Chain A
Amino acid sequence: MNFHSSSRIDPTDHYIRRWLKSGLAGKSPPGAGRSRLLAAASASIGAVRRQRSPAARGGAAMGIAVPPDDWSLGLARQAVLRWFPAMVISYRIGH
């Protein structure tokens, strides 16, 4: 049997390792974790599918022409007023 200073083991390391492992040894996660996880995972799949579904994105996603709503028309009107105010004014005067 030889003692080698090169193969020295620090007792503090050994102690800390054993101390930490024994302190946490009796600790286990709650039993219902698996079913909770799978339920949350499948719920997230459902949410993503709903977001991507054609119905969720309106008729345009299904290739159906969708008429512009009032809000879109309002935006278009604002843009026209900003870009071509003179034309809109002359149009109003003309009518």
Chain B
Amino acid sequence: MAQLVGDRTLVIRLQQGDLEALGALFDRHRQLVYRTALGITADEEAAADLLQDVFLRVHRYARRIDPDRPFEPLLYRVTANLAYTWVRRRSLGLRLLHEMGEWLARERKPTLHQIAEADEAWRQVREAISALPLPQRVVLVLHYLNDLSVAEIAEILEVPEGTIKSRLHYGRRALKASLGLGKDLVPEAYYEFS
């Protein structure tokens, strides 16, 4: 609740032209936006750019934001939309040249950024997520990373709940297959104590 009141005040200050309020909103939500964008794009550079874009849009359209409504769903919506557009553009082939350049550079001299990318957990996530169709990827990230319910995701993406459920189902199934999940999970884990 304190978070909600804080966001409300900051949005009002931003609407009055206070740039420090934008900075404060950025500090508070940057991790959420960055990781959501990273989950969807599976690209750290893109996620950093999208983080900027999301908050620049918040600044540009500040007057249209209703300060009495929670701020996070708006951030999720803008992030998902921008990340969606980015992935679709990349799939058109524009990104291929850039990736080839990166690959060539990596062969010669690995940077700190590239070394960090070699982190096993992240590599696994990146590969598995990248293999999913984009609509499923967005829903999975919002559901599993951001802990949003089907109803919340449906509202954010302005898509019927049935569609979200279906994307979640197929995305989950694809992830299960790519991670080799299912048979080896402990049976006790199927139940919780009450």
Q: How many residues of chain B get a CB closer than 8 Å to chain A's CBs?
A: 48
Q: How many residues of chain A get a CB closer than 8 Å to chain B's CBs?
A: 38
Do B125 and A24 touch (CB < 8 A)? yes
* Interface set, chain B 36-63, CB cutoff 8 A to A: 38-39, 44, 47-48, 51-52, 55-56, 59-60
Do A4 and B23 touch (CB < 8 A)? no
Contact partners of A30 in chain B: CB under 8 A: 48
Do B119 and A37 touch (CB < 8 A)? no
Encode contact with B along A11-36: 1 for CB under 8 Å, 0 otherwise. Answer: 11111110111111111111001101
Contact partners of A7 in chain B: CB under 8 A: 191-192, 194
Contact of B172 among A5, A16, A28, A36 (CB under 8 A): A16
**Is B103's beta carbon under 8 Å from chain A?**
no
List chain B positions with a Cβ less than 8 A from chain A.
Answer: 17, 19, 22-23, 26-27, 30-31, 34-35, 38-39, 44, 47-48, 51-52, 55-56, 59-60, 116, 119, 121-122, 124-126, 129, 140-141, 144-145, 147, 172, 175-176, 179, 181-182, 185-186, 189-194
List chain A positions with a Cβ less than 8 A from chain B.
Answer: 1-5, 7-17, 19-30, 33-34, 36-38, 40-42, 44-45
